[in-house]
């Protein structure tokens, strides 16, 4: 097969394996590798009909930088490809390569936001992959580091990682296409350049094809890393909490594991707070729980580890910005049977609970333990009961002012106890997790898979109760506005299904329903800007009053398109109904007629909204933690 055919097949296979994105942004340096990827993508675009645009980052580090940007702009104009140049300033201090990489990726992120691209295509090739492996080996690394760059990492797509650079140059030569050469690549003061010019040629001379085989090895190691991640997830779901602010693992189970697996586990725990460990720090952290005594260890960035008899905790440098744990609640039990277990179920003298609220422990809180006359601070109360120090600030209590009436899970206060003079009794049941719980002990237990989904949330933005209340209010409002009419409710699949069905039950009108499926997101976190109808309506809307129900209005492109289509089909009126409205992301002028909530520019999931088809079944709307969709830092970009 020709070089052109091999490259086309490679990119096509990779394109389909990542979900056939509908909008691609190509990072274009003007070198042979990025230009080869450009021409292959242009051919693929004619077949797959995706949106393609290019971005060039001008670092202004070389005299010829401006001329190169102008040359690329001229080429893109001839090819009729949307093209944007970002002029950036590389700050002084630190590694010039690292600083340039940082501002380059910031520019890439801006370009993705402007274009609505789902993926950023970069043309790293097999030679780059081999160089990355050698650099990491020289610095010291394990299997994770040697896996080097991945084909798809967050939103960054690298389809050429198994392709040698000489193939890309040969392809351009066949086309008669010139490319740019970066003169700074000759500077062997930079480690990558020194490896490229001094080391890899000798390796190829000693063992021809060694760079290609190293790239293949990186791919094998990457596949094994994915497999190891499954085992890590399984272990952590049973023996650890990754839900900030309660990050810990169980010491007893941890000590049973081989040291190689321990290293993976502690690195995963630290990654929740963005803490990166070197080899010596990793091994020291693995050894911290060995004695079974309370001990601490300072971690990078001011964070720390805290080992107790039962757990190994990871604590952030600051609690600022760290979300509170998901709150529990207390429910009243109608039928009183006994006094309860004193832990999660407790009978009280109702008259002594006036104005009591469920909250976390606060400084200054005091309690009179059951059976005692004098009070003591909650700090001492929790310490006496061997509660791990990291749990104490998050311990739920039922309190009036600074007087604690019930330390949930531990015991009630004498001041709220039932006695011979009690006239009114009430029994509360606490429903929720206590610090240290890995699953709820009440009937509201989550499955292990569900726990993992909850742990993926940075915070709960809108609770299940808030959603229910808003949907009821919205249904009542629509019922009033459309009194005497028989509107058609159109659900936009798939995200709006939960909201749609709950809303219909609150609308007390004769109505009909229909469904449309629209493609604009694919598997990314940003709308692509390209709208296609995947499933059309089953019924005519001519002369009908239509309400289009969506889960979220973001850019407005999808609903603007649908509203136009329905108007052209003769609908008498078209109103827009959404659970969530995100006006900061709007790219077109669009008025939303009915919105339950207006939210900030954060990536949300749950209650029908997904990321890569996950999280739809969460009962609330949560903010997905960025670590699940942001790009992992790469060693080198175009």
Active site residues: 554
Q: Residue 421: exposed, middle, or buried by beta-carbon count in 10 A (0-12, 13-18, 19+)? A: exposed
342 phi/psi in degrees, rounded to 5: 80, -5
- Report the candidate in 487, 502, 469, 459 with the shortest Cα–Cα distance to residue 596: 469
End-to-end CA distance of the chain: 28
Phi-psi region of 634 (alpha: psi -120 to 50; beta: other; left: phi over 0): beta
Beta bridge partner(s), residue 357: 399
Helices (H), 359-413: 378-384, 389-392
| Dist CA 538 CA 514 (whole Å) | 7
**d(C-alpha 300, C-alpha 370), whole Å:** 43
Task: Put the strands of the sheet holding 545-553 in their side by side order.
Answer: 532-535, 512-519, 488-493, 545-553, 573-581, 594-598
Tokens 């005519």 locate to 540
How would you class 184 by CB atoms within 10 Å of its CB: exposed for 0-12, middle for 13-18, buried for 19 or more?
middle
The alpha carbons of the chain give a radius of gyration, in whole angstroms, of: 30
Question: How deeply is 466 buried, as exposed, middle or buried, from its count of CB atoms within 10 A (0-12, 13-18, 19+)?
Answer: middle
DSSP state of 369: B
349 conformational bin, left if phi > 0, alpha if psi -120 to 50, beta if neither: beta
| Backbone φ, ψ for residue 148 (5° rounding) | 55, -135
User: What whole-number distance in Å separates Cα of residue 556 and Cα of residue 564?
Assistant: 12
Return the structure tokens found at 304: 């720390």
């Amino acid at each position: 097969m020709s070089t052109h055919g091999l490259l086309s097949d490679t990119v096509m296979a990779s394109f389909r394996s990542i979900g056939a994105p509908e909008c691609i942004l190509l990072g274009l340096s003007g070198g042979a590798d990025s230009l080869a990827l450009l021409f292959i993508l242009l051919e693929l675009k004619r077949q797959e009909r995706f949106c393609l645009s290019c971005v060039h980052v001008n670092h202004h580090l070389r005299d010829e930088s401006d001329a190169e940007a102008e040359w690329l702009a001229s080429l893109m104009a001839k090819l009729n490809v949307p093209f944007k140049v970002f002029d950036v300033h590389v700050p002084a201090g630190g590694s010039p390569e690292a600083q340039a990489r940082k501002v380059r990726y910031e520019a890439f992120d801006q370009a993705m936001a402007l274009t609505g691209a789902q993926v950023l295509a970069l043309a790293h090739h097999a030679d780059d992959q081999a160089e990355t492996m050698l650099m990491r080996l020289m610095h010291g690394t394990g299997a994770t580091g040697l896996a080097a760059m991945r084909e798809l990492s967050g939103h960054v797509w690298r389809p050429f990682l198994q392709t040698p650079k000489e193939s890309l140059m040969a392809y351009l030569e066949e086309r008669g296409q010139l490319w740019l050469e970066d003169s700074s690549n000759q500077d062997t003061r930079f480690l990558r350049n020194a490896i490229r010019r001094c080391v890899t040629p000798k390796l190829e001379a000693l063992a021809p094809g060694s760079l290609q085989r190293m790239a293949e090895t990186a791919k094998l190691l990457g596949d094994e890393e994915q497999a190891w991640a499954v085992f890590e997830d399984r272990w952590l779901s049973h023996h650890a909490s990754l839900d900030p602010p309660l990050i810990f693992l169980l010491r007893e189970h941890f000590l049973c594991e081989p040291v190689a697996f321990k290293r993976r586990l502690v690195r995963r725990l630290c990654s929740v707070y963005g803490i990166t460990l070197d080899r010596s720090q990793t091994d020291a952290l693995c050894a911290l729980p060995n004695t079974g005594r309370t001990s601490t260890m300072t971690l990078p960035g001011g964070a720390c580890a805290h080992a107790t008899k039962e757990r190994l905790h990871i604590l952030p440098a600051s609690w600022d910005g760290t979300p509170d744990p998901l709150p529990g609640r207390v429910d009243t039990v109608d039928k009183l049977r006994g006094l309860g277990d004193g832990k999660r179920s407790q009978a009280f003298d109702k008259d002594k609970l006036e104005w009591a609220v469920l909250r976390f422990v606060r400084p200054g809180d005091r309690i009179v333990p059951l059976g005692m006359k004098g009070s003591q601070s909650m700090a001492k109360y929790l310490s006496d009961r061997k509660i791990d120090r990291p749990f104490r600030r998050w311990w739920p209590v039922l309190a009036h002012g600074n007087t604690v009436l019930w330390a949930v899970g531990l015991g009630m206060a004498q001041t709220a106890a039932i006695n011979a003079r009690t006239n009114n009794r009430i029994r509360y049941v606490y429903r929720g997790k206590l610090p240290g719980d890995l699953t709820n002990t009440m009937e509201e237990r989550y499955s292990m898979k569900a726990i993992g989904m909850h742990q993926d949330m940075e915070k709960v933005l809108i609770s299940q109760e808030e959603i229910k209340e808003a949907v009821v209010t919205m249904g009542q409002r629509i019922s009033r506005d459309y009194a005497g009419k028989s509107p058609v409710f159109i659900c936009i699949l798939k995200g709006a299904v939960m909201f749609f069905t709950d809303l219909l039950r609150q609308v007390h009108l004769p109505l009909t329903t229909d469904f449309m499926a629209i493609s604009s997101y694919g598997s990314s976190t940003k709308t692509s800007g390209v709208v296609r109808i995947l499933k059309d309506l089953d019924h005519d809307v001519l002369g009908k009053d239509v309400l289009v129900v969506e889960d979220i209005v973001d850019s407005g492109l999808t609903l603007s398109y649908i509203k136009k289509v329905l108007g052209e089909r003769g609908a008498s009126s078209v109103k827009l109904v959404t659970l969530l409205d995100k006006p900061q992301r709007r790219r077109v002028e669009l008025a939303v007629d009915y919105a339950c909530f207006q939210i900030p520019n954060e990536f949300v999931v749950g209650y029908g909204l997904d990321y890569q088809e996950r999280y739809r079944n969460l009962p609330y709307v949560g903010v997905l933690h960025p670590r699940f969709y942001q790009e992992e830092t790469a060693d080198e970009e175009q």
